[in-house]
Structure 1
Amino acid sequence: MPPQQQQHYGPQIGEPGQPQQPYFQYSQCNGKKKALCIGINYFNTSSELRGCINDAKNMQKFLCQHFGYKQEDVVMLTDDAQNPRQLPTRDNILQAMQWLVNNAHPNDSLFFHYSGHGGQTKDLDGDEDDGYDEVIYPADHERNGFIVDDLMHDILIKPLPAGCRLTAIFDSCHSGSALDLPYMYSTEGKIKEPNMYAEAGQGLMSAVSSYARGDMGGVFKSAMGIVKVASGNTKKAEDFAKRTKTSAADAISWSGCKDSQTSADAVEAGTATGAMSFAFISALTQNPQQSYQMLLVSIRQILQAKYSQKPQLSASHPMDTNLMFIC
């Protein structure tokens, strides 16, 4: 089990003589358990998917069988629901998110799972090092719009008290930082730092490739990325995100891919499923006792033979990835 006491880190801040040090608290996950599972197939549209509703139902079953959740404490939003309140519309999703975190206490365990379309939109507040916010698409997005990561963070993370766990899984495209948690971890269990030289090099290669294709919009976007890196905006975005999005709560997010990648709508064992949802359930079914680092490696190994996407692990605070994963 994780340590019960407050975990202090970083430099002391505050008034002279009254310094404060940032802290967080791990959840023991032995309190109340609640979950929200969302699966959207976008029936009868040009962007229809096949496995997302299956993902939501599989995740509900998995949580109840393996992690002690009760079926009556799992809210399901799927676009095959007969009850209008259980359809994954923008309003219903936002209300269900608020239900999930309402009256949260230390050592509670809250679980959020989303399987559906994801995308990106221009970042307006400077917390994204690539200049783009991540979004998810409700079933009624053509009429009522997407849900941006800043709003999801405000609803799902900011209200949580220290010591309350929220585990989120995003099985969607461009989902690496879909919950705006500022500490991203590598498969070595270390915090990822922006590699400004590598990013500048990638931007240059992208600009050259776009020019060769005659894609002048791509050239401009890539060139602006190089300017952004060269001017230090990447580091500024990272610092701003850590100042504004760090939390004393115990929030972690598993996402199906990097912000720049897509996530596969796949078929496994003859059944339509999201690749990330399948890998997460498979990894923990095969070995329930895994550290966070081990689980990230396991999920990637399951996917790497067939898919190019690289699942990501992020947290609302610096964490010890050698601790056992619980939820």
Structure 2
Amino acid sequence: MPPTQVQNYGPQFQGQNNQPQQPFFQYSQCNGRKKALCIGINYVGQSAELKGCINDAQNVQQFLCRQLGYKTEDIVMLTDDARNPRQIPTKENMLHAMEWLVRDAQPNDSLFFHYSGHGGQTKDLDGDEEDGFDEEIYPVDFQENGSIVDDDMHMIMVKPLPPGCRLTAILDCCHSGSALDLPYIYSTEGKIKEPNLAAEAGQGLLSAATSYARGDMGGVFKSVTGLLKTATGNQQKAEKYARATRTSPADVISFSGCKDTQTSADTVEAGRATGAMSYAFITVLTQQPQQTYQQLLVSLREVLRNKYSQKPQLSSSHPMDTSILFIA
């Protein structure tokens, strides 16, 4: 189980009145109030219609109540087949629901955010992204009212949380690796990933060549731009900026369906349309409810490895011990 005391990390610095201070966070014991927001968007009747996202939201709702002790009346559902206009996943409704989720949050509360739908990328404007692109999710009315970018989701759902409050996010969409802007990303060994500049540069060249071969000049530009950022050390600047501005004393973790550069599958499992990530998350925790964060990341990867190229990612708002038990 997570320790109850405040966790300090990083170098000390002089705060107000020249008092020594140190960055800190506090794990949640997840024994306070439980609230959840589940969003599933199939984009019915639109050109890029999906099949399994509404099922995902319903399946996660049932899983939360069955396995994790949530109550139906404390879960807000937004799906595009809803009869209540307030439960349609428009941009306005999604933003209001995110605000509801974190309102009056207290230490040891457990908040849960699940999104299944389309995801994408757009140009980063504030310098917190190593690849130069923000991640975004698409409400059902995105063509009229636009997307919701990761910067905004972070400001709404992460920034207001007090120390010791948990937010668990499950993001089942394309380009979702850092879609909540949490600055610490973990390997399957349970260690914080650091940018491997040589490998990143090689990958950038490979991506540019692949894009050129299939006539995707936008992809060529994006890959070469990423390569130049690597060469000039901009990625390290972005990482430092992200950790300086996106670290939180609250206990925020995210499991996302894929890396920022990857897509997430809308597929069929056990005869039902589903998102691959949502299916994997429910499956591995139903089969083995007690897993550490590292074990859970490995389990998710193993379920998806044989059929899908996407690699689920684990990220957090603070440096965490991935050998403690996952609770929500």
Offset of 1:319 from its aligned partner? 0.3
Could you tell me which residue of structure 1 aligns to residue 104 of structure 2?
A: 103
Rounded Cα–Cα distance in structure 1 between residues aligned with 2:174 and 2:222: 20
Change (3 A) 1:307 1:231: same
Offset of 1:215 from its aligned partner? 3.8
Could you tell me which residue of structure 1 aligns to residue 244 of structure 2?
A: 243
What secondary structure is seen at the aligned counterpart in 1 of 2:120? Answer: strand
Gaps of 5+ in 1: none
Offset of 1:87 from its aligned partner? 0.4
Could you tell me which residue of structure 1 aligns to residue 69 of structure 2?
A: 68
Could you tell me which amino acid in structure 1 is paired with residue 203 of structure 2? Q
Could you tell me which amino acid in structure 1 is paired with residue 231 of structure 2? A
Could you tell me which amino acid in structure 1 is paired with residue 198 of structure 2? Y
Could you tell me which residue of structure 2 aligns to residue 3 of structure 1?
A: 3
CA deviation vs aligned residue, 1:155-199 (integer Å, no higher than 9, x gap): 000000000000000000000000000000010000000111111
Change (3 A) 1:213 1:47: closer
What secondary structure is seen at the aligned counterpart in 2 of 1:177? Answer: coil
Change (3 A) 1:59 1:217: closer
Could you tell me which residue of structure 2 aligns to residue 297 of structure 1?
A: 298
Could you tell me which residue of structure 1 aligns to residue 314 of structure 2?
A: 313
1:19 has 2:34 as partner: no
CA deviation vs aligned residue, 1:107-144 (integer Å, no higher than 9, x gap): 00000000000000000000000000000000000110
Rounded Cα–Cα distance in structure 1 between residues aligned with 2:215 and 2:67: 52
What secondary structure is seen at the aligned counterpart in 2 of 1:95? Answer: helix
Could you tell me which amino acid in structure 2 is paired with residue 54 of structure 1? N
What secondary structure is seen at the aligned counterpart in 2 of 1:285? Answer: helix
Offset of 1:224 from its aligned partner? 1.8
Could you tell me which amino acid in structure 2 is paired with residue 5 of structure 1? Q
Gaps of 5+ in 2: none
Rounded Cα–Cα distance in structure 2 between residues aligned with 1:215 and 1:302: 32
CA deviation vs aligned residue, 1:250-295 (integer Å, no higher than 9, x gap): 0000000000000000100000000000000000000001000000
Identity %: 73
Change (3 A) 1:114 1:217: closer
Could you tell me which residue of structure 2 aligns to residue 78 of structure 1?
A: 79
Could you tell me which amino acid in structure 2 is paired with residue 170 of structure 1? L
Could you tell me which residue of structure 1 aligns to residue 42 of structure 2?
A: 41
What is the root-mean-square deviation in Å for CA atoms of aligned residues? 1.0
Pairing of 1:266-305 with structure 2 (within 5 A): 266-305=267-306
What secondary structure is seen at the aligned counterpart in 1 of 2:255? Answer: strand
Rounded Cα–Cα distance in structure 2 between residues aligned with 1:169 and 1:243: 24
1:51 has 2:52 as partner: yes
What secondary structure is seen at the aligned counterpart in 1 of 2:106? Answer: coil
Offset of 1:17 from its aligned partner? 4.4
Could you tell me which residue of structure 2 aligns to residue 115 of structure 1?
A: 116
1:135 has 2:132 as partner: no
CA deviation vs aligned residue, 1:216-257 (integer Å, no higher than 9, x gap): 433332222221111100000000000000000000000000
What secondary structure is seen at the aligned counterpart in 1 of 2:58? Answer: helix
Q: Which moved more, 1:210-219 or 1:138-147?
A: 210-219
Could you tell me which amino acid in structure 1 is paired with residue 57 of structure 2? A
Could you tell me which amino acid in structure 2 is paired with residue 276 of structure 1? M
Offset of 1:19 from its aligned partner? 1.5
Offset of 1:214 from its aligned partner? 4.2
Could you tell me which amino acid in structure 1 is paired with residue 211 of structure 2? S
Offset of 1:89 from its aligned partner? 0.4
Rounded Cα–Cα distance in structure 1 between residues aligned with 2:215 and 2:288: 49
Change (3 A) 1:210 1:41: closer
Could you tell me which amino acid in structure 2 is paired with residue 8 of structure 1? N
Q: TM-score, normalised by structure 2?
A: 0.98
Rounded Cα–Cα distance in structure 2 between residues aligned with 1:99 and 1:319: 27
What secondary structure is seen at the aligned counterpart in 2 of 1:110? Answer: strand
Offset of 1:22 from its aligned partner? 0.1
Q: TM-score, normalised by structure 1?
A: 0.98
Rounded Cα–Cα distance in structure 1 between residues aligned with 2:301 and 2:222: 30
